[in-house]
């Protein structure tokens, strides 16, 4: 029996060595949004949107002055924010490694212009693994301003925030324009049909009566 047990363990070890090791999944993005009443902010998680590219037909990109923050405004009214770290510091490998080790997360502040004043949006705290964030619903015809700042462990100072401004096209206005275009086309087709019918009646029915 001891020899049989050793043989079984050796076979299982050989199977485990022959099987390919599963690659670790990409880290999820932890974030906290504002203060939700008396309960305070809640910790949430979202999967990263790796490899997203803004298509010309259904998306418009707006980049910050420093180039680190990009706002991709989609046609459905949502906004996908993307950012990187290379625009915030020197590109040397030593500094990049030190910055990655000291990085603690990101702080995102949002505001939008009203009629007389500027109103705050969500204030979001994101983890160090986050490189994008989704605003699911944005008001149409409103100018937004979003500022992102990395957070480092002391004594490393925090770099200045990078901000991006954009305006979301109202979805209702797009629907109205499409509906008016469809109705206008239908009316034009009906008018052409009526004109042809009047011309046919005038040519074939009225002319014999006038002749008699």
Stretch 40-66: mean pLDDT, rounded? 86
% of the chain exceeding 90 in pLDDT: 24
Rounded to a whole number of angstroms, the CA Rg of the chain reads: 31
Residues paired with 113 in a beta bridge = 118
Least confident of 17-31, 68-82, 104-118, 189-203: 17-31
Q: What 3-state DSSP class applies to 180?
A: helix
Does residue 93 carry a pLDDT above 70? no
Stretch 40-62: mean pLDDT, rounded? 85
Band of residue 16 on the pLDDT scale cut at 50, 70, 90: very low
Does residue 38 carry a pLDDT above 70? no
Band of residue 69 on the pLDDT scale cut at 50, 70, 90: very high
CATH number of 29-169: 2.60.40.10
Give φ, ψ of 145 to 5 degrees.
-135, 120
What's residue 125's pLDDT?
A: 94
Band of residue 133 on the pLDDT scale cut at 50, 70, 90: very high
Highest mean pLDDT among 30-44, 79-93, 149-163, 183-197: 149-163
Whole-model pTM: value is 0.63
Distance between CA atoms of residues 79 and 132, nearest Å = 10
Does residue 8 carry a pLDDT above 90? no
Q: What is the pLDDT of residues 171-187, one digit of tens each?
A: 655 555 545 666 666 78
Distance between CA atoms of residues 148 and 153, nearest Å = 17
Cβ neighbours of residue 139 closer than 8 Å, sequence gap 6 or more:
112, 168
C-alpha distance from residue 164 to each of 67, 82, 83, 121 (Å)? 9, 11, 11, 14
């Amino acid at each position: 029996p001891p020899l049989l047990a050793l043989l079984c363990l050796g076979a299982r070890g050989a199977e485990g060595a022959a099987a390919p090791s599963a690659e670790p999944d990409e880290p999820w993005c932890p974030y906290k949004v504002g203060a939700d009443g008396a309960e305070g902010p809640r910790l949430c998680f979202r999967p990263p949107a790796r490899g997203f590219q803004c298509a010309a037909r259904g998306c418009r990109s707006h980049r910050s002055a420093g180039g680190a923050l990009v706002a991709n405004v989609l046609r459905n009214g949502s906004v996908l924010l993307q950012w990187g770290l290379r625009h915030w510091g020197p590109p040397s490998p030593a500094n990049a490694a030190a910055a990655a080790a000291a990085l603690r997360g990101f702080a995102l502040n949002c505001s939008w212009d009203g009629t007389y004043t500027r109103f705050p949006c969500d204030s979001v705290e994101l983890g160090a693994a986050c490189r994008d964030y989704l605003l699911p619903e944005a008001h149409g015809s409103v100018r937004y301003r979003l500022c992102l700042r990395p957070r480092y462990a002391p004594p490393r100072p925090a770099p200045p925030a990078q901000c991006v401004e954009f305006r979301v096209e109202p979805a209702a206005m797009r629907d109205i324009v499409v509906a008016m275009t469809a109705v206008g086309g239908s009316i034009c087709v009906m008018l052409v049909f009526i004109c042809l019918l009047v011309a046919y009646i005038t040519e074939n029915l009225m002319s014999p009566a006038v002749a008699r």
